[in-house]
């Protein structure tokens, strides 16, 4: 008789399920959405726990001055997309019992998503679940308490016997604190409670930049009510002082995972001094075929048909989409490069423009066209400068450079199936995974990337895409990588695109063949169940 698979409660701050569900910001949420969809496809026992963000993440627009600005809207239409469970749970925040209404997205059947919402008539503060990653420290702590403590109390109210609590990033750590509180209320000592709770928790770490891993002062946590029955000393044992959410996640879990092989090496090195931390293994992210792979291109690949004519149809659709959004009409017979991701300094979004004397002539002639998209965090002034520079470049080269504002899943789908080449140039080793490149690869779009994130596992240089640089890390990395980028783009990519379409199509086939199964969300989730959940 086959062993029953464990029921998993998957906690995440954001879920990217569909463009109209504005409860996601970027890659973390897209991953969570793809995991739920894969669980549904594979009939795996899983529930998602998240937050119904009434205003969602920033709607980031470009002003007349070329600079991004943030706008928030009450997305109350989302309530019509959800089922009202009639349930509520309460979380005590700053000496007030905050009522969290529970909504359910049931389209994934065996993998439903439950969303907590503080927009309730009995709350003096209805806006705790207003803005995803908005506001400041106290609000963030309150939001994380709703996710973690409220999420665990919802599981109890639903009467579910959860086998595994999966924390996707450190935002869910307060669920572990609540589980410890429950054990101690039943008579366990703190140490015994911690030991027992660890048996049920697994943790995924993402951000490979130490400074990007969230910390809170213990005074702030205490002020907000986040100690939740534990002492300061006990909290320090879990997350240190200041309280680091990643450290806490590692100490609360029996096993942790990074999201690519290289990221596993980076994460183990980064957190090696944390005593009592779970071992970190690597399970590379994957993407959901049904969401991200165009059936027309995959059908042509599967049936051994020519890919280029199908790709040109997808490219035309993207060009039409861009024209409707921006008024710019790009050329179908010229190389079109795509770059879309969060505007963070290490991702180097505007890297290709560093030497205008080299790249400029190709843009002026239209031999290279580039479409960009991406948002900066609302509080990230450096990221906003990067966006402003991309917009500036679109005005310097108005016929060949485009910036699509307010990046979302719809833009992502058009780009990852419609461009010819997917550019990725993070400063190694700071990219955790980079699933946008997987989506492009499965659609026959060739990757041109540094050896960071998932690409070192997939790249067969000159066969299914290209690498630039040799994985160098250290001083003058930018100069080293920029020289390599121009060399590969101008001396390898362009000649194949313009003078050897037969080879380009062979590379498209190799791209799909080498990534479609290996980097699927289904493969990732099977590994989660066999290598983490069932261990």
Q: For the segment 186-215, what is each residue's pLDDT rounded down to a tens digit?
A: 999 999 999 999 999 999 999 888 767 999
Q: Confirm whether 95 is domain-assigned.
A: no
The answer to whether residues 462 and 416 belong to one domain is yes
Q: Confirm whether 65 is domain-assigned.
A: no
Rg value, the chain, Cα: 23
CATH of the domain at 12: 3.40.50.2000
Q: Confirm whether 183 is domain-assigned.
A: yes
Q: Confirm whether 70 is domain-assigned.
A: no
Question: Which stretches within 112-217 are classed as H helix?
Answer: 137-145, 151-158, 173-185, 190-198
pTM above 0.75, yes or no: yes
Q: Confirm whether 29 is domain-assigned.
A: yes
Q: Confirm whether 150 is domain-assigned.
A: yes
Q: Confirm whether 58 is domain-assigned.
A: no
Number of structural domains found in the chain = 2
Find the Cα–Cα–Cα–Cα dihedral 259, 262, 264, 266, rounded to 10°: -120
Q: For the segment 280-300, what is each residue's pLDDT rounded down to a tens digit?
A: 999 999 999 999 999 999 999
For 313, the domain range is 290-518
The answer to whether residues 203 and 296 belong to one domain is no
Token pair, residue 343, equals 């505007």
Q: For the segment 3-35, what is each residue's pLDDT rounded down to a tens digit?
A: 789 999 999 999 999 888 999 999 999 999 999
Tokens 């439950």 belong to 114
Q: Confirm whether 125 is domain-assigned.
A: no
Q: For the segment 136-172, what is each residue's pLDDT rounded down to a tens digit?
A: 899 999 999 999 999 999 999 999 999 999 999 999 9
Calpha distance 212→440 (Å, rounded): 27
The answer to whether residues 439 and 330 belong to one domain is yes
Q: Which residues pair with 116 in a beta bridge?
A: 51, 102
Calpha distance 180→461 (Å, rounded): 49
The answer to whether residues 433 and 363 belong to one domain is yes
- Whether 128 and 118 have beta carbons less than 8 Å apart is answered as yes
The answer to whether residues 184 and 330 belong to one domain is no
Q: For the segment 40-57, what is each residue's pLDDT rounded down to a tens digit?
A: 999 999 999 999 999 999
**pLDDT cut 90: percent of the chain above it:** 93
Token pair, residue 48, equals 């998602």
Question: Which stretches within 170-307 are classed as H helix?
Answer: 173-185, 190-198, 218-224, 232-239, 245-252, 261-270, 289-292, 295-302
The answer to whether residues 204 and 259 belong to one domain is yes
Token pair, residue 339, equals 């770059």
Element containing residue 402 per DSSP (H, E): strand 401-404
Calpha distance 348→478 (Å, rounded): 9
Calpha distance 293→94 (Å, rounded): 46
The answer to whether residues 351 and 210 belong to one domain is no
The answer to whether residues 450 and 400 belong to one domain is yes
Q: For the segment 316-363, what is each residue's pLDDT rounded down to a tens digit?
A: 999 999 999 999 999 999 999 999 999 999 999 999 999 999 999 999
The answer to whether residues 258 and 312 belong to one domain is no
Q: For the segment 100-114, what is each residue's pLDDT rounded down to a tens digit?
A: 999 999 877 789 999
3-state percent helix, strand, coil for the chain, nearest multiple of 5: 45, 20, 35
Q: For the segment 367-410, what is each residue's pLDDT rounded down to a tens digit?
A: 999 999 999 999 899 999 999 999 999 999 999 999 999 999 99
Q: Which residues pair with 280 in a beta bridge?
A: 256
Query: 450: alpha, beta or left, given left = phi > 0 and alpha = psi -120 to 50?
Result: beta
The answer to whether residues 267 and 354 belong to one domain is no
Q: Which residues pair with 203 in a beta bridge?
A: 167, 256
Backbone angles phi, psi at 275, to 5 degrees: -75, 140
Token pair, residue 327, equals 């008024």
The answer to whether residues 275 and 355 belong to one domain is no
What does the DSSP 8-state code read for residue 510? H
Tokens 């534990």 belong to 230
Token pair, residue 419, equals 């461009």
The answer to whether residues 227 and 276 belong to one domain is yes
Task: Collect all residues with Cβ–Cβ distance below 8 Å to 197 and sequence separation of at least 6.
Answer: 176, 179, 180, 183, 252
């Amino acid at each position: 008789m086959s062993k029953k698979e464990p029921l998993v409660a998957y906690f995440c701050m954001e879920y990217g399920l569909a463009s109209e569900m504005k409860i996601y910001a970027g890659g973390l949420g897209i991953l969570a959405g793809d995991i739920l969809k894969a669980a549904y496809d594979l009939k795996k026992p899983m529930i998602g726990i998240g937050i119904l963000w009434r205003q969602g993440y920033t709607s980031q627009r470009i002003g007349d001055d070329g600079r991004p600005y943030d706008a928030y809207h009450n997305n109350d239409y989302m309530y019509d997309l959800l089922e009202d469970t009639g349930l509520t749970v309460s979380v005590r925040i700053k000496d007030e019992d905050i009522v969290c209404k529970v909504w359910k997205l049931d389209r994934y059947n065996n993998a439903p998503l439950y969303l907590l919402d503080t927009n309730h008539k009995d709350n003096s503060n209805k806006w705790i679940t207003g803005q995803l990653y908005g506001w400041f420290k106290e609000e963030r702590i309150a939001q994380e308490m709703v996710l973690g403590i409220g999420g665990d109390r919802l599981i109890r109210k639903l009467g579910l016997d959860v086998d595994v609590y999966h924390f996707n990033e450190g935002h869910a750590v307060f669920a572990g604190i609540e589980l410890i509180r429950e054990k101690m209320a039943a008579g366990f000592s703190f140490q015994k409670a911690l030991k027992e709770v660890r048996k049920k928790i697994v943790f995924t770490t993402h951000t490979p930049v130490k400074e990007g891993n969230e910390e809170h002062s213990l005074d702030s946590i205490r002020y907000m009510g986040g100690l939740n029955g534990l002492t300061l000393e006990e909290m320090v044992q879990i997350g240190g002082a200041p309280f680091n959410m990643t450290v806490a996640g590692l100490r609360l879990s029996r096993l942790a995972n990074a999201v690519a092989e290289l990221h596993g090496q980076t994460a183990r090195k980064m957190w090696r001094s944390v005593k009592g931390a779970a071992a970190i293994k690597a399970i590379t992210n994957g993407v959901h075929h049904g969401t991200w792979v165009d059936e027309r291109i995959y059908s042509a690949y599967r049936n051994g048909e020519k890919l280029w004519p199908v790709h040109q149809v997808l490219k035309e659709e993207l060009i039409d989409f861009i024209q409707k959004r921006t008024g710019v009409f790009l050329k179908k017979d010229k190389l079109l490069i795509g770059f879309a991701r969060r505007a963070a300094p290490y991702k180097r979004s505007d890297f290709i423009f560093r030497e205008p004397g080299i790249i400029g002539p190709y843009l002026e002639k239209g031999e290279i066209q580039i479409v960009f998209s991406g948002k900066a965090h609302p509080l990230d002034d450096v990221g906003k400068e990067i966006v402003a520079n991309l917009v500036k470049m679109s005005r310097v080269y108005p016929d060949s450079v485009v910036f699509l504002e307010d990046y979302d899943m719809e833009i992502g789908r058009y780009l990852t199936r419609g461009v010819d080449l997917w550019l990725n140039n993070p400063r190694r080793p700071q990219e955790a995974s980079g699933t946008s490149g997987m989506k492009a690869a499965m659609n026959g779009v060739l990757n041109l990337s540094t050896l960071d994130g998932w690409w070192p596992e997939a790249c067969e240089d000159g066969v299914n895409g290209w690498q630039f640089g040799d994985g160098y890390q250290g001083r003058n990395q930018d100069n080293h990588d920029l020289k390599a980028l121009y060399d590969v783009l101008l001396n390898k990519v362009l000649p194949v695109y313009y003078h050897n379409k037969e080879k380009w199509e062979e590379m498209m086939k190799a791209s799909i063949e080498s990534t479609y199964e290996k980097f699927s969300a289904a493969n990732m989730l099977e590994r989660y169940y066999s290598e983490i959940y069932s261990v």
